[in-house]
Amino acid sequence: MADLPELFITRMKKILGDEWDVFHREAGKTRQYGLRVNTLKIKTEEFERIAPFHLSKIPWIPNGYYYEKDDRPAGHPYYAAGLYYLQEPSAMTPASRLLVKPGDKVLDLCAAPGGKATQLAADLKGRGLMVANDINQARARALLRNMELMGVSNSFITNEPPHILADRFPGYFDKIMVDAPCSGEGMFRKNPAVMDSWMEKGPDYFSVLQREIIVYAADMLKPGGRMFYSTCTFAPEENEAVITYLLQERPDMELIPMEDYEGFSQGLLSFEGQTFHESCRLCRRIWPHRMAGEGHFLALLAKKDTGVPGDDLAGARRGRRVKTGKKERKSGNSPAEREGQEALKEFFRHVNNQMISDHLDIRGQKVYYVSDRTMDEKKIHFLRNGIYLGDLKKRRFEPSEPFALALAGNDYDMTIDLSSRDERVEKYLRGESIVIDEPRPAGHKGWYLLKTDGYPLGWGKLVGNTLKNKYPAGWRRTQSFRD
């Protein structure tokens, strides 16, 4: 590891005292590698049974595991099937402590690349709403890709600054995650290049952003709702000082205890003459020399229930009729449109997921599943509302990769299931057509859902014994898992 910045060393010695030496020794060791099982698709017990990796449990994360660097799980077909998300162990903690339940309206305000948002969505189990936002468009697109990979159906992916969202969603959300942009001191070992950024924009720069973000987030929380604030940095000005600022600016917010773990440390109550709010003792810190993780700051907050109802429908929508079922449109009258919709109906005869079938939205030639139509009325910039299902072409419907990954193995009745050890799976993920020798019902032709060990990977068009590859070019592998 490169030499640590002197300013960082000086501050950390003051915070850690006698523990500095052991912290410094730990910083020179190999980083921790972690993966989180996607419980939208597979139970942890089943994953433990089938995973070909050297796994050991992360003791404070129910669905988290350490793996060894040589395992290379990003190259395995199970990764392409969305069975797990690769995530630093400390970073798994915030989503596990927010305690999202099915039916909640949830916001991840600074969500890219999606580690926390995909876990919160898994906790929703397809019910409720998962709004995942990032202010940077390129990062928001990466966020969308990860939500699609994990098979999230009830997401609304936005690309707005916090003040715009706060204007559209006052008192709206049951749960909010704020994993704030920070100076990244907990990333020094994982990515030494972060130290260069730290020297350019350190804690003082980020603390200003964090104070603005956390207040806007609090304004979007329902009375009685919960919010989690976290960073991957050790600087008190980005952590306890930000919490203290929020509690001063928003007296209806309070820190509450979270599920604890023996390795967690309490938050600081003072540093270099600055006194923090007394309830910061309820904050928690993960130190890499005390636990097998890179480090994190954790704070669970609640909004006091004052008896004033939240804006659950955002005033502009009150009194307006909300459409349900298939969306009413004037399109579909031309011969080409009628042919495309007939092809769509034919395709959906093979789909066994009634929820998706009942919430189709056709926009031009593109077909979507929309779980919450009212979100379109918020007038904000978004990348996706629900799932992009595919395209209507002349006399045919072409299903999308996100559609495949949102299905369970038995949601489509024309499937081909290959072992993850079958070389044809790797060929498919590289974009090659593959030969199918396995028996199948007579007369079945057209779109098949390719699965590996029962879990969907993507679509192919079966012509004779050849499965024509429809795996998207941008998703394809360039290297074999076995290389």
Active site residues: 232
Kindly give, in sequence order, each residue whose CB lies less than 8 Å from that of residue 483, ignoring residues fewer than 6 positions away: none
Length in residues, the chain: 483
Kindly give, in sequence order, each residue whose CB lies less than 8 Å from that of residue 18, ignoring residues fewer than 6 positions away: none
Structure tokens, 192: 């030494």
Amino acid at the residue 191: N
199-201-207 Cα angle (round to 5): 130
Determine contact, residues 454/468, Cβ cutoff 8 Å.
no
